[in-house]
Amino acid sequence: MIATVLFDIDGTLLVTGGAGAVAWQRAFRELHGIDANIEEHTHAGMTDPEIAEIVFREVIGRDGSEAERAEAIAAYLSHLEEAVNGSDGYRVMPGIEELLPRLVERGVLLGIVTGNIESAAHIKLARANLNRFFAFGGYGSDSRDRTELTRKALERGGTVAGSPLDLAATIGVGDIPRDVAACHGAGIEVVGVATGSYAVAELREAGADWALEDVNSGFPA
């Protein structure tokens, strides 16, 4: 019996239609007068702090200081809500809006595991009113390492539940091999959903314990 489910956001719960990239571009144009197309320099699964570092190094041409990177992230956040709410490509993945309330009604504890810093995660979830389903999470603001932030989510889930989570009764859900590796590294099984840029066969090859087209296709909980 599954008692806890941890969901990735981008490509798993929803897509913002490029709103994150728009917000990063506006932030670096505002602060440094450059157009930073993060999609040319980053790949899926990176944490927000990693993205800031890479843009400084590969677009500006130097390592930004800790203060400069913090300023860039703050500027990104200041533009993100407008970018998300104005995105024509924002959509929730198939089956998610039906699955989440069903799990909650069954008493399953739901959490988030994402490379987004915590504020960005809540902004992305807010447009579809999904924050109400998640009691805890692990975020890019906790660690640049996806396994470590997944462990942090499990720790917080135990705090919410009142005792450590039973890892055998906990699963993660993600759309990329990095999600699979992070959940396995933290000691839980993983549902890979092919709603992002990876196919079912690729997620299965990456080690997903279940590999599905979407959460409508035999979700285990």
Tens of pLDDT, residue by residue over 136-186, are 999 999 998 999 999 999 999 999 999 999 999 999 999 999 999 999 999
What was the pLDDT predicted at 170?
A: 98
Q: How is residue 140 written in tokens?
A: 């890019």
Q: Using H for helix, E for strand and C for coil, what is the string for the chain? A: CCCEEEECCECCCEECCCHHHHHHHHHHHHHHCCCCCHHHCCCCCCCHHHHHHHHHHHHHCCCCCHHHHHHHHHHHHHHHHHHHHCCCCCEECCCHHHHHHHHHHCCCEEEEECCCCHHHHHHHHHCCCCHHHCCEEECCCCCCCHHHHHHHHHHHHHHHHCCCCCHHHEEEEECCHHHHHHHHHCCCEEEEECCCCCCHHHHHHCCCCEEECCCCCCCCC
Q: Which of 85, 102, 129 is the last residue of a domain?
A: 85
The answer to whether the CB of 128 falls within 8 A of the CB of 16 is: no
Residues 61 and 119 in one domain: no
C-beta separation of 154 from 188 below 8 A: yes
Domain interval for residue 95: 4-16+90-212
Give residue-wise pLDDT tens across range 57-109.
877 778 878 898 899 899 999 999 999 999 999 999 999 999 999 999 999 99
CB within 8 Å of 100: residues ≥ 6 apart: 110, 130, 133
Q: Check whether residue 122 and residue 78 sit in a common domain.
A: no
Residues 78, 153, single domain; the answer is: no
- Are β-strands 14-15 and 91-92 bridged in parallel, bridged antiparallel, or unpaired? antiparallel
Alpha-carbon distances of 133 from 32, 88, 125, 201, rounded to whole Å: 38, 24, 10, 30
Residues 53 and 99 in one domain: no
Query: Is the backbone of residue 187 left (phi > 0), alpha (psi -120 to 50) or beta?
Result: left
CATH number of the domain within which 79 lies: 1.10.150
Of 91, 27, 183, 97, which Cα lies nearest the Cα of 38?
27
Domain endpoint, select from 31, 53, 85:
85
pLDDT of residue 75: 93
Instruction: Please tell me the total count of domains within the chain.
Output: 2
Boundary residue ending a domain (85, 100, 134): 85
Mean pLDDT over the full length of the chain? 93
Domain CATH for 168? 3.40.50.1000
Q: Are residues 23 and 12 in the same domain?
A: no
Query: What percent of the chain has pLDDT above 70?
Result: 96
